[in-house]
Structure 1
Amino acid sequence: MKFVLAPDSFKESMTSKEACEAMERGIKKIYKDAECIKVPMADGGEGTVCALVQATKGKMYKATVKNPLGEEIEANFGMLGDSETAVIEMAEASGIELIGKELRNPMITTTYGTGEIIKKALDLGAKKIVIGIGGSATNDGGVGMVQALGGSFKDKDGNEIGFGGGELSKIQTIDVSNLDKRLKGIDIEVACDVSNTLCGELGASYIFGPQKGATPEMVKELDFNLNHYADKVYQTLGKDIKNIKGSGAAGGLGAALVGFLDGKLKRGIELVIKHTGLKEKLKGADYLFTGEGSIDSQTIFGKTPMGVSKEAKDLGVKSIAFGGRVLEGSENLYEVGVTAIFGITPGVITLKEALEDGAKNLERTVENVVRLL
């Protein structure tokens, strides 16, 4: 029997690697000689770097970078097993979890640190970059990232503008002549699962600004500033970053990655499937086992169980999903190839108990399912 194990992490309970190991233990209790191909997964958000590095036998690195408030911190990133593809999560340098609620202010937070990680990846010889852009604390249109890579944004007096979305209205000139030359010809894939544009009522400031600490007054100012910035980019580079779907992701970082670095916006799960070689590993498999902490009505919109089950269905492989909890709306997954869905909690228990015993519960549930198979 050949099983491909491709779960996401079970948040606060198991990493995707630990979930793979629990699944394998459950299977081997019944089929001692089963072939278990472990492919830890993620959907472009938290855990993507670890999942891709582990799946490709790559290597983790650290970089000293600026956090959203400009303070020095250590951020993790990885190089895949091919030694030429860097994988980065912008949240490692510019994420909302890095600063306390009372300090969150998109008028002053910057993506500079994300640019510093990209620079470090180039120092290591990266020829390709995969970057996940979820979970940002910023609304600076990616200007900080571009500054870290050698771009310049000057005000009417010829001075470089400061950090944060509050500074963008000061931009008078944009100069990319000193942008890091190593970026030329680098293939940049951006894991982006939102379709919001840069500006307007469905743009970065209005939709995501409030959760980053923006007041209603700030939201209006930030949106005005992003409009001004986009106009200046169009005048200088001839690129319309204002109306690209996904350009509003991560406070406009999506716009900068496309406009300044020629990045390509793609669904996170598609990138992870591609770089882990999941499709090849599924060939000849009897079953795919997948899962994540919560399987619900949102799972069908690009989450790991949806993405991997779709691949399995295309190859005629049955797919079984396991969830820490299984909620209404999860049945939508049957349409995309999931054969069955199982919750792993054994009864009425506290959330604390569920998180602590996640691996044990997953192992037991997988064992029972394999007995049935």
Structure 2
Amino acid sequence: MPHVLVAPDKFKGSLTATEVAEAVARGLTAARPDVEVVRLPVADGGDGTLAAALAAGYDEVPVTATGPTGEPVATAYARLGDVAVVEMADVSGLGRLPGGRPQPRTATSRGTGELVAAALAAGARRVVLGIGGSATTDGGAGLLEALGGRLLDADGAPIGPGGAGLERLARVDVGGVAAALDGAEVVVACDVDNPLTGPAGAAAVYGPQKGADPDDVTYLDGCLTRLADAVAAATGRDLRDEPGAGAAGGVGFAALAVLGAQLRPGIDLLLDLLGFDRLVAGADLVVVGEGSLDGQSLRGKAPVGVARRARAAGVPAVVAVCGRRDLADEPLRAAGIDAAHALTDLEPDPERCMAEAASLLERLAEQIAVDRLVDGTAGT
């Protein structure tokens, strides 16, 4: 009996990772009814991280928290034993902006901190924080406040929300954060190495993706510098230039400098949490996937991360499915992927690919089973 592990990321705007895995599994079993398929939807720390944890057996813990523009949102974290998984995108992400309207100066990370605080209060001793897809450029100020930090102006009053609030910042008191953590470990899924400030910093590189114009970028960079100065004065450590400090509009900085967090590549961290090494053992074939397989995929995105781990486990073949493909065979093979099959191979119309993604994936998976599963093993 051939053993296949299906471990895809989402097809953004079309299918969740769970829906991708289900469609691939249907296609494989249609062509080879004897195949044993294990489904493991994955994510790399951005949107879909919570869903991947829940699909892997974590329990959902609902929480009402502060959205990026201050409105309450219904969100959740995932928990298994004393480990909690928090997805920033689900509470402070671009998808939580009312009407999709960006608020580059005032969007807050407070809700992310509220989720972390809720998990800690419920007894979590290890919090895994995925910070991809954020809508904020506040340096993690809102997160720190939600965890008991005090960010005060010259009169001793709390500052306002977002990066703009930092313009008034005079002093930071982080004593309450240490009390909230009470020795718990925070690990951040982070795939960027940007510093907090400067031309490669959070505002300059990622601010425009969150609606910041050139004036906003200059303003926000100055505000983040003010935060970094105040945190350095409070902690005796200046970590603004640490790789990853600029992640998620500076949440990476707050996590490093105040939470004492460890930053790890998102896909590797999630695969460890989801039990990938146990599930991949003995697999004849691993199927990876994401919506667009392109140059960004080679920079640690989910399909390449899964392929690398599968190869390390001795899996004889790794095949990718995707909505569209923009990579030649050679770089794919160098990344550990033997072949890639795109929905556009079957249907050149992008709109129909989006609308009929599940059925097209089933057809691709049927062909993969015919081509790759030979006499119970993976063909090359």
TM-score (norm 2): 0.92
- 1:119 partnered with 2:117: yes
Q: Look up the equivalent residue of 2:360 and give its one-letter code.
A: N
- Of residues 345-354 and 249-258 in structure 1, the stretch that sits farther from structure 2 once superposed is 345-354
Q: Deviations over 1:60-108 (max 9, x none)?
A: 22211111221222123211xx322111111222112222578533322
Q: Deviations over 1:307-351 (max 9, x none)?
A: 111111122211111111112356412112111111234544433
When residues 102 and 51 of structure 1 are mapped into structure 2, their CA distance, relative to the original with a 3 A threshold, is closer
Which consecutive unaligned segments of at least 5 residues does structure 1 have?
Answer: none
- After TM superposition, the structure 1 = structure 2 runs for residues 217-296 of structure 1, keeping only pairs within 5 Å, are 217-296=215-294
- Of residues 93-102 and 6-15 in structure 1, the stretch that sits farther from structure 2 once superposed is 93-102
How far apart are the structure 2 equivalents of 1:331 and 1:9? 24
- Counterpart position of 2:49: 48
2:311/2:336 contact within 8 Å kept: yes
How far apart are the structure 2 equivalents of 1:114 and 1:358? 32
- Counterpart position of 2:378: none
- After TM superposition, the structure 1 = structure 2 runs for residues 86-101 of structure 1, keeping only pairs within 5 Å, are 86-100=84-98
1:313/1:336 contact within 8 Å kept: no
- Counterpart position of 1:69: 69
TM-score (norm 1): 0.94
Q: Deviations over 1:107-159 (max 9, x none)?
A: 22211111111111123221111111122221111111111111101111111
Q: Secondary structure at the match of 1:74?
A: strand
- Counterpart position of 2:26: 25
1:297/1:330 contact within 8 Å kept: no
1:297/1:329 contact within 8 Å kept: no
- Counterpart position of 1:353: 352
State the 1:218 CA deviation: 2.3
When residues 102 and 349 of structure 1 are mapped into structure 2, their CA distance, relative to the original with a 3 A threshold, is closer
1:324/1:343 contact within 8 Å kept: yes
How far apart are the structure 2 equivalents of 1:210 and 1:283? 43
2:69/2:103 contact within 8 Å kept: no
Q: Look up the equivalent residue of 2:37 and give its one-letter code.
A: C
How far apart are the structure 2 equivalents of 1:113 and 1:330? 43
Which consecutive unaligned segments of at least 5 residues does structure 2 have?
Answer: 373-380
2:325/2:342 contact within 8 Å kept: yes
Q: Look up the equivalent residue of 1:360 and give its one-letter code.
A: S
How far apart are the structure 1 equivalents of 2:338 and 2:41? 20
2:347/2:353 contact within 8 Å kept: no
- After TM superposition, the structure 1 = structure 2 runs for residues 153-172 of structure 1, keeping only pairs within 5 Å, are 153-172=151-170
- Residue identity (%): 38
- Counterpart position of 1:324: 323
How far apart are the structure 2 equivalents of 1:219 and 1:68? 18
How far apart are the structure 1 equivalents of 2:103 and 2:12? 27
State the 1:169 CA deviation: 3.2
Q: Look up the equivalent residue of 2:61 and give its one-letter code.
A: Y
When residues 90 and 31 of structure 1 are mapped into structure 2, their CA distance, relative to the original with a 3 A threshold, is same
1:101/1:213 contact within 8 Å kept: no
Q: How many residues align?
A: 370
- Of residues 14-23 and 139-148 in structure 1, the stretch that sits farther from structure 2 once superposed is 14-23
Q: Secondary structure at the match of 2:368?
A: helix
When residues 101 and 359 of structure 1 are mapped into structure 2, their CA distance, relative to the original with a 3 A threshold, is closer
Q: Look up the equivalent residue of 1:244 and give its one-letter code.
A: E
Q: Look up the equivalent residue of 2:45 and give its one-letter code.
A: G
- Counterpart position of 2:375: none
When residues 12 and 212 of structure 1 are mapped into structure 2, their CA distance, relative to the original with a 3 A threshold, is closer
When residues 330 and 227 of structure 1 are mapped into structure 2, their CA distance, relative to the original with a 3 A threshold, is farther
- Counterpart position of 1:135: 133
How far apart are the structure 1 equivalents of 2:343 and 2:102? 37
Q: Look up the equivalent residue of 1:152 and give its one-letter code.
A: R
- Of residues 225-234 and 167-176 in structure 1, the stretch that sits farther from structure 2 once superposed is 167-176
When residues 294 and 102 of structure 1 are mapped into structure 2, their CA distance, relative to the original with a 3 A threshold, is closer
